[in-house]
């Protein structure tokens, strides 16, 4: 596994996606990055940049976001960042572009959150989604960046369903078995 730090990129080399076709790279901004600031005692500078690591094609890659500076990333990488509301798709001038995030799925909800469909959302079967919608959902899952435009629909659906089943298993609360739970002596004395 290799570590690779992505270089910052600003400028007009990349065109923002329009419609359902996407260029190789797009520009995104992390709105949680902030300007560098002096420490409280003034002895050092606190960096406001944010570094995000992501597994892409079996390699750990680091993406460095500076305050207000768009970063050019491949579309499959951008899709994964854009799932989070803190990231924005922008043009070469830093102006925000419209981007429709896919709705959170039930297994992605935080504790206490309720699943609600928006006014313009519906429940659909995978077979009802067009190829690009399937690919978009697959690319949001780690390992999904491997799906290209010519990927078989059945392979994408199988990948998505397998990942969802895995996440559901991981998120299912159950009491520990005797093999998994072995209290130490402090537990017995604290309970007494």
pLDDT tens by residue, 65-91: 999 899 999 888 888 898 888 999 999
Tokens of 13: 């080399």
* pLDDT for residue 36 is more than 50: yes
* pLDDT for residue 16 is more than 60: no
Is residue 175 within 8 Å of residue 184, measured between CB atoms?
Answer: no
Q: What's the confidence (pLDDT) of residue 135? A: 86
**Mean pLDDT of the chain, nearest integer:** 76
pTM, two decimal places: 0.54
* pLDDT for residue 141 is more than 70: yes
pLDDT level of residue 9 (50, 70, 90 thresholds): very low
pLDDT level of residue 187 (50, 70, 90 thresholds): low
Q: What's the confidence (pLDDT) of residue 7? A: 35
Tokens of 125: 């079967």
Percentage of the chain exceeding pLDDT 70: 72
Strands 3-6 and 59-65: parallel
Q: CA separation (Å) from 153 to 23, 53, 100, 144, 160?
A: 21, 29, 22, 13, 11
Q: What's the confidence (pLDDT) of residue 154? A: 92
Strands 87-90 and 37-38: unpaired
């Amino acid at each position: 596994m290799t570590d690779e730090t992505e270089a910052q990129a600003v400028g007009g080399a990349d065109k923002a996606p329009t419609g359902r076709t996407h260029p190789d790279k797009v520009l995104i901004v992390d709105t949680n990055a902030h300007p560098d600031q002096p420490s409280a005692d003034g002895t050092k500078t606190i960096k406001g940049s944010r570094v995000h690591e992501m597994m892409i094609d079996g390699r750990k890659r680091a993406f460095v976001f500076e305050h207000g500076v768009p970063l050019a990333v491949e579309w499959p990488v951008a899709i994964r960042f854009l799932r989070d509301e803190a990231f924005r798709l922008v043009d070469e001038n830093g102006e925000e572009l419209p981007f429709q995030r896919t709705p959170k799925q039930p297994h992605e909800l935080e504790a206490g959150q309720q699943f609600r469909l928006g006014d313009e959302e519906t429940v659909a079967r995978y077979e009802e989604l067009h190829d690009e919608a399937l690919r978009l959902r697959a690319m949001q899952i780690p390992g999904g960046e491997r799906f290209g435009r010519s990927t078989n629909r059945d392979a994408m659906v199988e990948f998505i369903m397998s990942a969802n089943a895995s996440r559901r298993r991981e998120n299912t609360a159950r009491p520990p078995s005797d093999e998994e739970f072995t209290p130490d002596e402090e537990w017995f004395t604290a309970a007494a």
